[in-house]
Amino acid sequence: MKKYLEDFWLLFENLEEGAALHEIILDKKGIPCNYRFLHVNSAFKKITGLQDVIGKTALDAIPDLEQSWIDQYGKVAIQNETTSFENYSATLNKWFKIKTYCPEKGYFLTIFDDITGTKQKESDIDSLITSITNLVIEVDKAGKFINLWTNDERKLFLPKDQLLGRTIEEKMGKEFSDKVFSMMEKSFSEIASFEYPTPNNYDEWWKATVSPIYHQGSFHGNFVISIKDISEIKKQKNIIAETTRNLYEQQMIYKILVENMTDIIIHHNINGDCIFVSPSVTNLLGYNPEELLGQKIFEIIYPEDMPKIQDSMQNLFNPDYYSPFIEYRVINKKGETCWIEAFATPINIGDIAFISSGKVINKRKKIEEDLMLAKQKAEESDRLKSAFLANMSHEIRTPLNAIIGFSSLIEENLHDSEIISQYANIIINAGDSLNALINDIIDLSKIQANQLNISKSDCEIGPFIRSVFEIIKALNKKGLLINYIIEDGLSESIVELDKTRVQQIILNLVNNSLKFTDTGSIQIGCGINPKVDNELLFWVKDTGIGISQDKKEAIFNRFVRLENQNTKVNNGAGLGLSIVKGLIELMQGNVWVESVLDSGSTFYFTIPYTSSNINQTFATSVKVDSLSEALVLIVEDNIHNNFFLEEMLKKHTKLLSCYTGAEALDLFKNNDVNLVLLDIELPDMSGYDVIKLFKEIKAHIPVIAQTAYAMSSDREKALEYGFDDYIAKPIKATILLEMINRLLLKQ
């Protein structure tokens, strides 16, 4: 009976139903007159309200106990019977539903539940299926009932002997039967269970779990179907799916259940020594159960998680403490970290020990981590969007204010040419600032969307650096000393790189230096990176205010702006250095800054390159006045833009202008046109269609695409369609005249 006590505890301690093991007491005539409590589970105490009854007789614990209870239990214990009944205890003022077994003559086991509430509200049972709440069925491969167990035989609707030998489909419906057969095939390799609503009440849900029965490692041939009412569990997040198996088949049924559970079951003492480990540990963590027996389970737990496990174990001895699920990490046999969700129950048979069950939740933790990362990214994106809108509102309105304001003032001062000239320069500068800002926004958007293309072409280092230097000299309004350095042997080298983007990077860095350098010098330079083969090293060095160490990384982030303490300069959208970093990374380069506060900064960046074998020659520009005899055809549908181009060019060349593609073709055929300025978007046809017809008529006449499309990909598209060059709006006169001059030289 001692062995049975241990089995009783392991099997029944965590049942929701009350369970108690008793010894019957006979008088001298052999008639039952009392019984003694040998063991009870926690639910017994909760349901009956009786405490500390172990070792006591029933009449000691319940002095007014009715004799009918003793007679009923005596019959079970003496005649070795199994029976189910419902009975009312006047002493406890409760109705009980009771199942009794005789594990050994002279002893009896009761499994019971409080059905007082049910008795008060009970209604007629509509059908077998809608009444089942807890049922265990053993079926063969054909779906015939072999055996079944329930905590209330009235729920069977038909007597048990009339169900045995019948099929699931006959008694539980075809839909249920089809799902069971489907689960039978899956049950050999995974948890085979399904949930479904009751036919007459879609607020009630059941869960059915199908498991093959193994005996000593071999398939028994039959299956166990466990059906449980999970209506309340459905409403909660924590799903507890402990299925009641054969209650009277002691240790053998217990082993079958444990061997087929997918969760890990571990029985260990308070020191962590493993007494039992379920076979599922092999599938989930890679260990054989024998490897862990006798070993300390704490050795495979992640060290940082041990404190919370120890705290949880201590709290289990607090009677007011409800054991929650706990999540922690373990190390599997491969040395990998696995997340486990588990709960432990203390047992007090002999030495203090615990039964812990757990499952691997790596996928769930990964989903949680991904969701948290996505949340953080979304919050950061929202923050950056707000910062972007705030910055753009300020940066766009500032030049617009100057453009609109001084345009109005010009109307008020039409008589004063000096003031008009002054205001016009301000408008031009504000327009340039607005155009630069729009270009920065577009570039940054393209970089972030990974849609900015790098277009490499042959570049002779010396002329390239000198041309950038000339632009910088024009930008220098503070009288700073500007110089450049090209390392020996590199000036005449021709390499392949994106000249436009490298120039953009250098000018962005120089503009940054010009903002924060009031006196001294700015130097640009180019050399070979001594640390990496086939990599150019560029630098921009200034004697400005410098950058503190804590801001050297942040300055490359969007919208970050430093302040010149001497002049309070902090204008700009804070996009320039972010664009620099994005462009350099697109070209597989690196950028960094070395700086001493109040002494200056040097920005370095590297760009991989490939040598070119093409001997490149550079055209020599001629003066604009040489264009006076040329005839230029302007094709622009916007009346204001058309007028602007005419005003820009009328002092330098002869002009024809029109607004449609058809007009352009007629003028092109009937006049000795030397060059065409062709808009891409025309009202009657595309500029790409017009250029094709132009080249069929006079292929040697240069045609310049002039358009509001300003991406590098737009330039490439124009050149592919046959345009000789490309200029983006807004158009500057000096750039356009230089382009016309260069193209007419080819002619």
Question: What are the DSSP calls for 711-726, one per residue?
Answer: SHHHHHHHHHTT-SEE
Q: Is 224 helix (H, G, I), strand (E, B) or coil?
A: strand
Query: Which one has a higher pLDDT value, 586 or 400?
Result: 586
User: At 271, is the pLDDT very low, low, confident or very high (cuts 50, 70, 90)?
Assistant: confident
Fold match flag (128-258 vs 261-360): yes
Q: Give pLDDT, residue 90.
A: 83
CATH superfamily assigned to domain 128-258? PAS domain (3.30.450.20)
pLDDT confidence bin for 527, thresholds 50/70/90? very high
CATH superfamily, with its number, for domain 624-746: Response regulator (3.40.50.2300)
Asked whether residue 661 carries a pLDDT value surpassing 60, the answer given is yes
| Residue 45, pLDDT above cutoff 70 | yes
- Cis? peptide before 730, omega within 30° of 0: yes
| DSSP label of 349 | S
Say which CATH architecture domain 261-360 belongs to.
Answer: 2-Layer Sandwich (3.30)
Q: Apex CA 691: angle with CA 688 and CA 693, to 5°?
A: 115
Rounded mean pLDDT of 665-672?
A: 93
- Comparing 119 with 617, the larger pLDDT belongs to 119
- Contact assessment for residue 513 and residue 524, using Cβ atoms and an 8 Å cutoff: no
User: Rounded to an integer, what distance in angstroms lies between the CA atom of residue 466 and that of residue 477?
Assistant: 19
Q: Residue 34 in 3-state DSSP?
A: strand
pLDDT score at 252: 60
Query: Residue range 18-33: average pLDDT?
Result: 92
With bands split at pLDDT 50, 70 and 90, how would you rate the model's confidence at 745?
low
CATH code of domain 457-611: 3.30.565.10
Of 428-442, 459-473, 507-521, 617-631, minimum mean pLDDT range: 617-631
* pLDDT band with cut points at 50, 70 and 90 for residue 682: very high
**Amino acid letter for position 250:** Q
Task: State the average pLDDT over residues 219-227.
Answer: 83
Handedness of CA 397, 402, 405, 410 (dihedral sign): negative
The confidence band for 494, taking pLDDT boundaries of 50, 70 and 90, is confident
pLDDT attached to residue 717: 85
Percentage of the chain beyond pLDDT 70 is 81
Region 212-240: what's the mean pLDDT?
A: 73
Question: Is the separation of the CB atoms in 678 and 686 below 8 Å?
Answer: no
Q: Which has more pLDDT, 68 or 160?
A: 68
Segment among 122-126, 156-160, 468-472, 663-667 with least mean pLDDT? 122-126
This prediction's pTM = 0.40
Q: In this predicted structure, what is the pLDDT of residue 302? A: 83
- Beta strands 494-497 and 610-611 are antiparallel
Residue whose C-alpha is closest to residue 646's, from 661, 657, 659, 630 = 657
Tell whether the model's pLDDT for residue 566 goes beyond 60: no
CA distances, 382 to each of 208, 379, 698 (Å): 46, 5, 54
Instruction: Report d(CA 55, CA 5) in Å as an integer.
Output: 13
Q: How confident is the model at residue 4 (pLDDT cuts 50, 70, 90)?
A: low
Question: Would the pLDDT of 558 be above 70?
Answer: no
What's the rounded mean pLDDT across residues 717-737? Answer: 86
Q: What is the mean pLDDT of the chain?
A: 80
User: CA torsion sign, 90 to 94 to 95 to 97?
Assistant: negative
- Top pLDDT among 386 and 520 is at 520
**Strand locations in 490-569 (E):** 494-497, 521-528, 535-542
How far apart CA 675 and CA 723 sit, in angstroms, is 11
- Backbone phi and psi for residue 354, each to the nearest 5 degrees, phi listed first: -135, 150
CATH number belonging to domain 2-121: 3.30.450.20
Read off the pLDDT of each residue in 423-452 and give the average, rounded to a whole number. Answer: 75
Q: Which residue has the higher pLDDT, 345 or 128?
A: 345
Looking at residue 600, its pLDDT comes to 92
pLDDT reported for residue 259:
65
Identify the pLDDT of residue 240: 37
pLDDT given for residue 447 in this prediction: 73
Domain ranges of the chain: 2-121, 128-258, 261-360, 366-430, 457-611, 624-746
432/743 Cα distance (integer angstroms): 26
| Confidence at 620, pLDDT banded by 50, 70, 90 | very low
Cα–chain-centroid distance for residue 123?
50
Buried b (16+ CB within 10 A) or exposed e, 493-513: bbbebbbebbbbbbbbbbebb
pLDDT for the residue 266: 78
- pLDDT at position 195 is 81
Q: What is the pLDDT of residue 25?
A: 94
Write down the pLDDT at residue 190: 79
In angstroms, the Cα distances linking 572 to 400, 422, 436, 536 are 14, 23, 10, 29
pLDDT at 255 over 80: no
DSSP assignment, residue 556?
A: G
Q: Residue 326 in 3-state DSSP?
A: strand
Structure-model confidence comparison of residues 413 and 393, the more confident one: 413
- What confidence tier does 225 reach under pLDDT thresholds 50, 70, 90? confident
Question: Higher model confidence: residue 33 or residue 449?
Answer: 33
Q: How confident is the model at residue 542 (pLDDT cuts 50, 70, 90)?
A: very high
**Per-residue model confidence (pLDDT) at position 198:** 61
> Cβ atoms within 10 A of the Cβ of 263, count?
20
How do 675-679 and 703-707 pair as beta strands? Answer: parallel
The structure tokens listed for 510 are 């120089």
pLDDT of residue 435: 75
Residues 237-250: tens digit of each pLDDT: 444 334 445 454 55
Q: What is the pLDDT of residue 490?
A: 86
Antiparallel, parallel or unpaired: β 631-635 and 654-658: parallel
Assess whether pLDDT exceeds 80 at residue 481.
Answer: yes
In b/e form, how buried is each residue of 355-390, taking b as 16+ CB within 10 angstroms?
bbbbbbbeeebeeeeeeeeeeeeeeeeeeeeeebee
| Residue 659 Cα distances to 507, 643, 646, angstroms | 37, 11, 13
pLDDT classification of 154: cutoffs 50, 70, 90:
low
